[in-house]
Amino acid sequence: MTQRNLASIAAEIYRDWGSKINYAARPHLQAMREMDNIADNYGYDSGKSVVLYFLSNASTWRGDTAKRIKAELKAMCK
């Protein structure tokens, strides 16, 4: 299975989570929207740290789509 790029994952998160995105997760999600993969850097932050910070602040995002995408992001960080 090929990995999707972070920008397309972020777009799906925006569509699913909508206007209720947690304020602490939003900056990391915005960074992911500008990244291709986990090996990219965003400023001084590694792609892995951006994704991990997003995941740690995305606990209020729930549902089947959230579970699936969170698992996909966690697999990228291994």
Q: Are 30 and 49 in contact (CB under 8 A)?
A: no
Residue 54, C-beta contacts closer than 8 angstroms, at least 6 positions apart: 25, 28, 29, 32, 73
Question: For residue 23, what pLDDT is reported?
Answer: 96
Q: For the chain, how far is it from start to end, CA to CA, in angstroms? A: 16
Residue 18 lies in a domain: yes
Domain count, the chain: 1
Whole domain around residue 66: which residue ranges?
Answer: 6-76
Quote the pTM value: 0.93
What percent of the chain has pLDDT above 70? 99
> Rounded mean pLDDT of 48-67?
97
Residue 1 lies in a domain: no
What would the pLDDT profile of 14-45 be if each residue is shown by its tens digit? 999 999 999 999 999 999 999 999 999 999 99
Q: Residue 71: is it exposed, middle or buried by C-beta count within 10 angstroms (0-12/13-18/19+)?
A: exposed
Give yes or no for residue 2 having a pLDDT over 80: no
- In angstroms, how far is CA 10 from the centroid of its own chain? 6
Residue 63 lies in a domain: yes
